[in-house]
Amino acid sequence: RRELVLISGLFQTARNEWGLRGLRNPVGGIKMPPDSPSRSRRLNQCEKELLITESKGVPYLHLAIQFALQTGMRQGEILRLFYADLDFDRHLIMVKDTKNGDDRIIPMTGDIETLLRPTYAENSPIFRISQSGLQQAFRKLIKRCELRDLRFHDLRHEALSSFFEAGLSLPEVKLLSGHRTVDQLMRYSHAHMTEIKRKLAR
């Protein structure tokens, strides 16, 4: 589905922006396959502690996992971070070059600040590893920890769900996550509903 959308977008751009009106979109008449079902993999506390503990031997992996679990940032956003994007005085992180094109500011947790302060080097990237390299290291970690059906992106899902469970509102989580619409956040609503049920019961 994503490949077909990409091809279609290329031909639409060529026709509409480059003036190549004679081009025919080769996938214009193709019925798109259904999108993949959204994942709802959550981590329990034991799994979280295992990931954090076992990753300490690989500092960049340990740091990336902490970023994902504590800030809800996307993998690409984490890997593109520079030390210059950190404001230690105000305990904030400037997230640039995001998926939706808008910069955003999110809080820096104490754990992340503790890990980064000793290594601070202005105008240097925090991570010096590719996305495929991080994925490979994460898969090795998952295998060593004997965890099933866990992807790095699930850590972002876990973070956003935990934000709801901590009592943050939809607009507040949307501000942290970088989603353009509330509808895009609804995949995490099961965690939000848990908090609602708790409040109703009380």
Q: Categorize the per-residue pLDDT at 2 as very low, low, confident or very high, splitting at 50, 70 and 90.
A: confident
Considering the chain, what percentage of its residues have pLDDT values greater than 70? 95
pLDDT per residue as tens digits for the range 39-53: 778 899 999 999 999
Task: Report the pLDDT value the prediction gives residue 122, as an integer from 0 to 100.
Answer: 81
- Give SS3 for 111: helix
Can you say whether residue 39 is alpha, beta or left, with left for phi > 0 and alpha for psi between -120 and 50 degrees?
A: beta
**pLDDT average, residue stretch 19-37:** 86
pLDDT higher at 54 or 96: 54
Task: Report the pLDDT value the prediction gives residue 150, as an integer from 0 to 100.
Answer: 95
For residues 164 and 194, give the distance between their C-alpha atoms in angstroms, rounded to a whole number. 9
**pLDDT average, residue stretch 6-23:** 92
Torsion on CA atoms 173, 176, 182, 183, rounded to nearest 10: -100
Mean pLDDT of the chain: 89
- Token match 């993949």: residue? 36
For residues 202 and 147, give the distance between their C-alpha atoms in angstroms, rounded to a whole number. 35
pLDDT higher at 197 or 153: 153
pLDDT per residue as tens digits for the range 137-196: 999 999 999 999 999 999 999 999 888 888 888 888 888 888 877 777 777 766 666 667
Catalytic positions: 74, 99, 153, 156, 179, 188
Task: Report the pLDDT value the prediction gives residue 179, as an integer from 0 to 100.
Answer: 82
